[in-house]
Copies of this chain bind each other. A is one copy, B any other.
Amino acid sequence: METPAIVIDRRRMRRNIASMAAVADKHGVKLRPHAKTHKIAALAHEQIAAGAAGITVAKVAEAEVMAAHGVRDIFIAYPIVVPSKIERVVALSRENRIIVGVDSLEGATALSTAAVREGVTIEARLEIDTGLKRTGVTLDEALELAKRISSLPGIVLSGIFTYKGALYQGASTLDLAAAGREEGELMASVAKQLRESGIPIVDVSVGSTPTGVYAAQVPGVTEIRPGTYIFYDAMQVKLGVCEHDDCAGRVVVTVVSKPAADLIVVDGGSKTFATDVQPNQPPLNLKGFGIIEGYPDAVLERMNEEHGMIRMPSSHTVAIGDRLTIVPNHICSTINLHNEVYVQDEDGGLERLSVLARGLLQ
């Protein structure tokens, strides 16, 4: 194995998969993991074998890759509004259960038009904004839009979904229990309101790795969609969601230069580690771009594209050619940079897996 490379610890990964399945089971909700974290069908199958009801993806292309590799129950948790993509959803629906997100009448109308033309029924879930301020409708708008969507031919509005996460807009504290409860309660109340208006909502689906365990405890929530939990990362450690020892994904890098007594350079930069979760930003205030294992006082301070600059106290005897392992701040976007990952067994054996659903144009 050359570096830089991502190595997944199979034992920790399986423990994480089993642990989240147990959380869902305990609280009586379905688990539909978000496959955007790994983008690897073999790992989606491990999640399903451990009890997941299906998977979540963000893109039609991801759904296509997963379906081509035998995953049969897929929620595309994203507004699919373009006719060419809706056609692909329809094609997938013929052999699989495909659910799509919707958050506008325009999108719903496009789905309905295609469904009627193709003679199929599309299963959709209405996205609710519970604080992240990205896609999704507000609580006030939900009932009106749900009624209009329900009146369209060719669509079954079977559920509602949201993603709040830990870092929603305006989050000033990291009270995950409160965030999760609020997420779940808002969703349960919307579902109740919709059902009282005659819209038979079945699935009430919420995120996320940090909030899922709390949202799952709210009566009325039926499904959680965590993604990161399969590997965890430095952000989740800082959030207090997991221990460092739970982290199953790490980047292996090699020291290529020691330009100063307290500075080493490794062969992983911003084309190896994602930079979407930056250091020193509130509320997380992460220290550097990852956890440098074995060197708690070292900091991955700066990166260029293929260079990682680590401030390392000179008392450490790290030499050119040595390897370091680093748990990245955000494993989902980091894996997205790599074509392949290695899964390591306890005996050290390495299995090479292609990150097949990454880098797709559509």
**Residues of A that sit less than 8 Å from B by CB:** 1-5, 36, 58-59, 78-79, 81-82, 84-85, 103-104, 106-107, 110, 129, 132-138, 254, 256-260, 263, 265, 267, 270-271, 274-276, 278, 302-307, 309, 319-321, 332-333, 336-340, 358-362
Contact call A81/B339, Cβ cutoff below 8 A: no
Contact call A257/B79, Cβ cutoff below 8 A: yes
Number of copies: 2
Given A58-B305, A254-B81, check contact A103 B259 (CB 8 Å): yes
Contact call B5/A362, Cβ cutoff below 8 A: yes
A103: nearest chain-B partner, CB-CB: B257
Cβ-defined partner of A2 (8 Å) among B82, B137, B332? B82
User: Inside 8 A of A137's CB, which chain B residues have their CB?
Assistant: 259
Contact call B339/A337, Cβ cutoff below 8 A: no
A34: nearest chain-B partner, CB-CB: B305
Given A134-B304, A135-B256, A135-B259, check contact A361 B5 (CB 8 Å): yes
User: Inside 8 A of A110's CB, which chain B residues have their CB?
Assistant: 321
User: Inside 8 A of A259's CB, which chain B residues have their CB?
Assistant: 103, 129, 133-138
Task: State the Cβ distance, A87 to closest chain B Cβ, in Å.
Answer: 11
A104-B320, A136-B257 given; name 11 further pairs at CB < 8 Å: A79-B257, A129-B259, A133-B259, A133-B309, A134-B302, A135-B256, A275-B275, A276-B305, A305-B332, A339-B361, A340-B361
Contact call B337/A2, Cβ cutoff below 8 A: no
User: Inside 8 A of A321's CB, which chain B residues have their CB?
Assistant: 81-82, 106, 110
A332: nearest chain-B partner, CB-CB: B305
A129 to B260, CA, bound (A): 11
- Please name 28 pairs of A and B residues whose Cβ atoms are closer than 8 Å in the assembled complex, sorted by A: A2-B82, A2-B361, A2-B362, A5-B362, A36-B305, A78-B256, A79-B256, A79-B257, A81-B254, A82-B254, A82-B321, A103-B259, A106-B321, A110-B321, A132-B304, A133-B259, A133-B263, A133-B309, A134-B304, A134-B309, A135-B257, A135-B259, A135-B307, A275-B275, A338-B359, A338-B361, A340-B361, A359-B359
A321 to B105, CA, bound (A): 12
A39: nearest chain-B partner, CB-CB: B271
Task: State the Cβ distance, A350 to closest chain B Cβ, in Å.
Answer: 11
A79 to B110, CA, bound (A): 54
User: Inside 8 A of A362's CB, which chain B residues have their CB?
Assistant: 2-5
User: Inside 8 A of A320's CB, which chain B residues have their CB?
Assistant: 81, 104, 106-107
User: Inside 8 A of A339's CB, which chain B residues have their CB?
Assistant: 359-361
Task: State the Cβ distance, A120 to closest chain B Cβ, in Å.
Answer: 21
Task: State the Cβ distance, A320 to closest chain B Cβ, in Å.
Answer: 4
Contact call B256/A81, Cβ cutoff below 8 A: yes
A104: nearest chain-B partner, CB-CB: B320
Task: State the Cβ distance, A209 to closest chain B Cβ, in Å.
Answer: 13
